[in-house]
Amino acid sequence: MYLHGAHVTSWKPAGGEEALFLSSKSRRENGRAIRGGIPICFPWFGDKADDPKAPAHGFARTKAWQLESIAQAGDGVTVSMFTESDEDTKRWWPHEFRIVHRVTFAPELRLELEVTNIGKSSLRFEEALHSYHRVGDVLKTRLAGLDSIQYIDKTDANRKKTQQGDIAIVSETDRVYLNTSGAVELEDPVLRRRTRVAKENSRTTVVWNPWVQKSHTLSDFADDEWMQMLCIETSNVSDFAVDLAPGQRHEMKALVRIANF
Ligand code: TA6
How many angstroms is it from 153 CA to the middle of ligand 1?
13
Question: Sheet containing 159-162: which strands, arranged edge to edge?
Answer: 40-41, 127-134, 229-236, 204-209, 173-177, 150-153, 159-162
Report pLDDT digits (tens) over 63-104: 999 999 999 999 999 999 999 999 999 999 999 999 999 999
What is the Cα–Cα distance from 208 to 241, expressed in whole angstroms? 19
- Is 232:131 a contact under the CB 8 Å cutoff? yes
Cα distance between residue 40 and residue 52, in whole Å: 19
pLDDT at 162: 98
Residue 250, Cβ density class (10 Å: 0-12 exposed, 13-18 middle, ≥19 buried)? middle
As a whole number, mean pLDDT of residues 118-142 equals 98
Q: Is the pLDDT of residue 29 over 90?
A: no
Locate the ligand 1 atom nearest the alpha carbon of residue 35 and give its number. 15
- Give me the amino acid identity at 128: A
The pLDDT-based confidence of 30 (bands split at 50, 70, 90) is: confident
Residue 217 neighbours by CB distance under 10 Å: 8
pTM of the model: 0.98
Q: Are 229 and 36 in contact (CB under 8 A)?
A: yes
Amino acid identity at 47: D
Annotation says 130 is catalytic: yes
Mark whether 133 is an active-site residue.
Answer: no
pLDDT surpasses 90 at 27: no
Q: The sheet that has 76-84: what strands, in order across it?
A: 66-73, 76-84, 97-105, 109-117, 249-260, 193-200, 184-188, 142-144
**What distance in Å separates the CA atoms of residue 194 and residue 240, rounded to the nearest whole number?**
28
Q: Which of 207, 201, 148, 222 is nearest to 172 (CA)?
A: 207
pLDDT in tens, 138-172: 999 999 999 999 999 999 999 999 999 999 999 99
Q: What is the mean pLDDT of residues 244-261?
A: 98
d(CA 56, ligand 1 centre) in Å: 8
Q: For position 178, what pLDDT does the model report?
A: 98
Q: Which atom of ligand 1 is nearest to the CA of 57?
A: 14
95 neighbors 43 (Cβ within 8 angstroms): yes
CA nearest ligand 1 atom 1, residue: 208
Phi/psi for 208 (5° steps) reads -140, 130
